[in-house]
Amino acid sequence: MQCDEYPFASTDEGGTALPATQRAVTWVPAAEQRKQGGMVSAFQVQNRVLKGDPFYVEV
């Protein structure tokens, strides 16, 4: 298990950029976290998302 966060750490709002009341962390299986991280990275590269660019996440 690994700790994962939302918003994604690779975004301007991720990590500790927002107050604790506006972000979430939870334990997830390590394989799931690696897969999700790879998908986010691939999305950012394929769609040329640069630092500061806005994008939406549909859940």
Q: And the tokens for 4? A: 């994962």
pTM to 2 decimals? 0.78
Q: How many domains does the chain have?
A: 1
Whether 58 is in a domain gets the answer: no
Task: Say if residues 7 and 13 touch (Cβ distance below 8 Å).
Answer: yes
Whether 42 is in a domain gets the answer: yes
pLDDT tens digit at each of 59 positions of the chain: 999 999 999 999 998 899 999 999 999 999 999 999 999 999 999 999 999 999 998 88
Q: Phi/psi at 37 (nearest 5 deg)?
A: -60, -40
Range of the domain at 19: 2-46
Whether 7 is in a domain gets the answer: yes
Task: Give the side-chain half-sphere CA count within 13 A for 59.
Answer: 2
- The C-alpha atoms of residue 52 and residue 59 are separated, in whole angstroms, by 21
Whether 10 is in a domain gets the answer: yes
